[in-house]
C-alpha cells in the first residue's frame, strides 16, 4: 500500500499526534507529517516566509493514516482558511497523480478540531468542505468534539470538562460566529435513542440544508453510535471532531479491513517500559494543567527541572546541573525544561507564545548537544513544531499510544540521528500524567 486510507487534518501538531495515537491504538499504522512543505503551501510572507515549492511528485504515506497539521490555530481566520485550502489542494493533487499512476484514489478525510474548541473551526471547515466532498453531493460535516478518555464531552451543544465553568462554551454559536454555513444540532437523547432515531435526525438535517451538524456525546458508545449512523445515512459527510471521534472511526476501519499495526522496516514497536532514558522533556505550554504536572515532577529527586526565562538570553549551565557529584558517577538524570508559569491574567497563546517557545527550543537544542538523550518528550503544539523543525525531523512514525492521545513515535533528523519522540497536548491528562510518561 502506498497511499493513506485516512487523512487527518489538524490545526496544530499535538492535535495531529493525539489523533494518530488513537488510530494506532485501534490497530492502524500512522505517520505524522512535520515537514514545512505542507505549511509553505499555505504560507504568507507575514506568517511563514519561504521560497520553497511543494513537491507534488513525492508519494503519499505508506501508512494507513496520514496525520498532519496546518499550524493555523492562532492565525487570523482568513489566513487559516487559505492555509487549509492550499494544503488540502496539495494533498488532493498527490492523490490524483497516484490514481493516474495506478494507485487507489479513495481516501477518507477527518477534520481534527481542538477538544476545548479553540481555533478557527468554522473558517477551516468552510474552506475544506467543498474540496473533499464527492462530486454530486451536498457539502456536509458531522461534528462531535467529545473526547471521553480526556473527560471532555458535549451536552446541549456546550463543552463540558472540569477546567471550564458549565455552559460557557457553545459550539453551535462559535461555528455560526466563525463562518456563514448553516448549523444544526442533535442532542444526546437522540444519539441514545437508537439507530432509527439518529439516522432520521441526520437525514433531516441534510434535508434542511444544514452544512454543519453538531452532535452531543459523552461516551465512546455515543461516538460509536454516531459513526455507524453517519456511515449508513450520510457516508459522504466530512467527519470532524477531537481525537475521541477519530479513534472510533479508526476502530471501525481497522475492524472492516482486519488491519494489524506494523512498524516500518528497522523499527520495533516498543512497550511502555521500552522508553529509553535519560529523557529530555520540553514544556512550552502555559496551561494550568501543564504546570500542575510540572509541580509533581519537580518533587522527584532523579529529575532536573529548569525554567527558561525568555527575557534572559544567558544559556543554562546544564553541565553544572547534571554534574556527577549531584547525581552519582555515571548517572545522567532526566532533564525538564519549561517556560515560567504565566500569571493568571496572561493567556500564553498566539504570537507571544511562539516567541517564548522559540527561545525555549533554542535552549533545548543546546541541551540536546550536551546530553544526547535517546528520548524527547514535547508538551504543547508550538513547542513540538519549533523544536522538531529545528532538529530537521520531518516525519514521525507512531509506534504506540502510551496514554490516551499521547503517542510514542520515532523520528530521524537530517543528520541521520533517530530519536524516540513523545508528544502531549499541554492541557491533556491529570496532575500525575507527566510523571507517568517520564517513568
Position 93 pLDDT exceeds 80? yes
Distance CA 146, CA 112 (A): 12
Note the pLDDT tens digit of each residue in 296-353: 999 987 899 999 988 876 777 766 666 655 555 566 889 999 999 887 665 666 677 7
What the block records as the C-alpha cell of 257 is 479491513
**Planar angle of CA 187, 191, 193, nearest 5 degrees:** 110
Q: Where in the chain is the domain with CATH 3.40.980.20?
A: 272-438
pLDDT at 55: 40
Note the pLDDT tens digit of each residue in 395-426: 999 999 999 999 999 999 999 999 999 999 99
Which class is domain 6-257? alpha beta
pLDDT at 375: 97
Residues of the chain with pLDDT > 70: what percent? 83
What the block records as the C-alpha cell of 288 is 494550568
Position 97 pLDDT exceeds 50? yes
Tell me if the pTM is above 0.75.
yes
pLDDT at 272: 46
SS3 assignment for the chain: CCCCCEEEEECCHHHHHHHHHHHHHHCCCEEEECCHHHHHCCCCCCCCCCCCCCCCCCCCCCCCEEEEECCCCCCCHHHHHHHHHHHHHHHHHHHHHHHHCCCCCCCEEEEECCCCCCCCHHHHHHHHHHHHCCCCCCCCEEEECCEHHHCEEEECCEEECCCCCCCCCEHHHHHHHHCCCCEEEECHHHHCCCHHHHHHHHHHHHHCCCCEEEECECCHHHHHHHHHHHHHHCCCCEEEECHHHHHHHHHHHHHHHCCCCCCCCCCCCCCHHHCCCCEEEEECCCCHHHHHHHHHHHCCCCEEEEECCCCCCCCCCHHHHCCHHHHCCCCCCEEEEECCCCCCCCCCCHHHHHHHHHHHHHHHHHHHHHHCCCEEEEECHHHHHHHHHHHCCCEEEEEEEEECCEEEEEEECCCCCEEEEEEECCCCCCCCHHHHHHC
pLDDT at 83: 96
What value does the mean pLDDT take over residues 372-395? 94
pLDDT at 327: 56
What the block records as the C-alpha cell of 235 is 457516508
325 Cβ contact partners less than 8 Å away, ≥ 6 residues apart: none
Distance CA 296, CA 432 (A): 7
Position 49 pLDDT exceeds 70? no
Cβ atoms within 10 A of the Cβ of 42, count? 26
Nearest to 388 by CA among 158, 50, 396: 396
Report the mean per-residue pLDDT for the chain: 87
Note the pLDDT tens digit of each residue in 139-175: 999 999 999 999 999 999 999 998 899 999 999 999 9
What value does the mean pLDDT take over residues 273-285? 87
Position 43 pLDDT exceeds 80? no
The answer to whether 372 and 417 have CB atoms below 8 angstroms apart is no
50-59, 272-281, 285-294, 298-307: which range is least confident on average? 50-59
Q: How confident is the model at residue 386 (pLDDT cuts 50, 70, 90)?
A: very high
Which class is domain 272-438? alpha beta
What the block records as the C-alpha cell of 319 is 553541565
Q: Where in the chain is the domain with CATH 3.40.50.10840?
A: 6-257
Position 203 pLDDT exceeds 70? yes
pLDDT at 268: 47
Please indicate whether residue 7 or residue 341 has the higher confidence score (pLDDT): 7
What value does the mean pLDDT take over residues 20-30? 97
pLDDT at 259: 47
Note the pLDDT tens digit of each residue in 209-262: 999 999 999 999 999 999 999 999 999 999 999 999 999 999 999 998 764 444
58-72, 93-107, 248-262: which range is least confident on average? 93-107
What value does the mean pLDDT take over residues 93-118? 80
User: Rounded to whole angstroms, what are the CA distances from 398 to 39, 263, 366, 419?
Assistant: 21, 8, 26, 12
56-60, 118-122, 301-305: which range is least confident on average? 56-60
Amino acid at each position: 500500500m502506498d497511499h493513506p486510507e485516512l487523512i487527518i487534518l489538524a490545526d496544530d501538531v499535538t492535535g495531529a499526534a493525539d489523533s494518530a495515537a488513537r488510530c494506532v491504538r485501534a490497530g492502524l499504522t500512522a505517520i505524522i507529517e512535520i515537514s514545512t512543505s505542507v505549511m509553505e503551501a499555505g504560507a504568507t510572507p507575514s506568517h511563514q516566509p519561504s521560497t520553497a515549492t511543494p513537491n507534488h511528485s513525492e508519494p503519499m504515506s505508506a501508512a494507513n493514516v496520514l496525520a498532519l497539521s496546518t499550524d493555523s490555530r492562532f492565525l487570523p481566520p482568513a489566513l487559516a482558511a487559505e492555509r487549509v485550502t492550499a494544503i488540502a489542494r496539495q494533498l488532493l493533487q498527490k492523490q490524483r497523480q497516484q490514481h493516474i499512476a495506478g494507485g487507489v484514489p479513495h481516501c477518507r478525510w477527518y477534520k481534527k478540531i481542538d477538544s476545548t474548541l479553540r481555533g478557527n473551526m468554522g473558517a477551516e471547515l468552510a474552506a475544506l468542505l467543498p474540496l473533499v466532498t464527492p462530486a454530486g453531493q451536498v457539502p456536509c460535516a458531522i461534528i462531535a468534539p467529545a473526547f471521553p478518555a480526556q473527560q471532555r464531552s458535549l451536552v446541549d451543544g456546550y463543552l463540558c470538562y472540569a477546567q471550564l465553568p458549565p455552559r460557557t462554551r457553545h459550539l453551535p454559536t462559535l461555528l455560526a460566529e466563525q463562518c456563514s454555513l448553516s448549523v444544526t444540532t442533535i442532542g444526546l437523547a437522540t444519539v441514545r435513542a437508537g439507530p432509527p432515531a439518529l439516522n432520521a435526525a441526520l437525514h433531516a438535517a441534510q434535508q434542511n440544508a444544514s452544512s454543519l451538524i453538531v452532535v452531543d456525546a459523552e461516551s465512546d458508545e455515543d461516538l460509536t453510535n454516531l459513526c455507524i449512523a453517519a456511515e449508513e445515512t450520510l457516508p459522504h459527510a466530512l467527519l470532524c471532531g477531537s481525537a475521541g471521534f477519530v479513534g472510533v472511526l479508526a476502530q471501525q476501519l481497522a475492524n472492516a479491513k482486519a488491519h494489524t499495526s506494523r512498524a516500518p522496516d528497522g523499527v520495533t514497536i516498543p512497550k511502555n517500559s521500552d522508553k529509553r532514558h535519560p529523557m529530555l522533556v520540553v514544556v512550552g505550554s502555559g496551561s494550568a494543567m501543564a504546570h500542575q504536572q510540572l509541580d509533581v515532577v519537580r518533587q522527584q529527586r532523579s529529575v532536573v527541572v529548569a525554567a527558561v526565562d525568555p527575557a534572559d538570553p544567558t544559556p543554562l549551565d546544564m553541565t553544572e546541573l547534571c554534574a556527577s557529584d549531584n547525581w552519582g558517577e555515571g548517572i545522567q538524570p532526566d532533564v525538564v525544561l519549561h517556560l515560567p508559569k504565566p500569571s493568571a491574567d496572561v493567556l500564553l497563546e498566539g504570537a507571544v507564545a511562539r516567541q517564548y517557545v522559540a527561545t525555549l527550543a533554542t535552549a533545548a537544542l543546546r541541551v540536546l548537544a550536551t546530553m544526547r538523550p535517546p528520548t524527547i518528550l514535547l508538551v504543547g503544539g508550538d513547542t513540538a513544531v519549533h523544536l522538531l523543525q529545528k532538529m530537521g525531523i520531518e516525519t514521525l512514525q507512531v509506534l504506540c499510544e502510551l496514554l490516551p492521545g499521547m503517542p510514542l513515535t520515532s523520528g530521524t533528523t537530517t543528520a541521520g540521528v533517530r530519536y524516540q519522540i513523545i508528544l502531549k497536548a499541554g492541557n491533556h491528562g491529570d496532575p500525575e500524567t507527566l510523571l507517568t510518561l517520564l517513568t
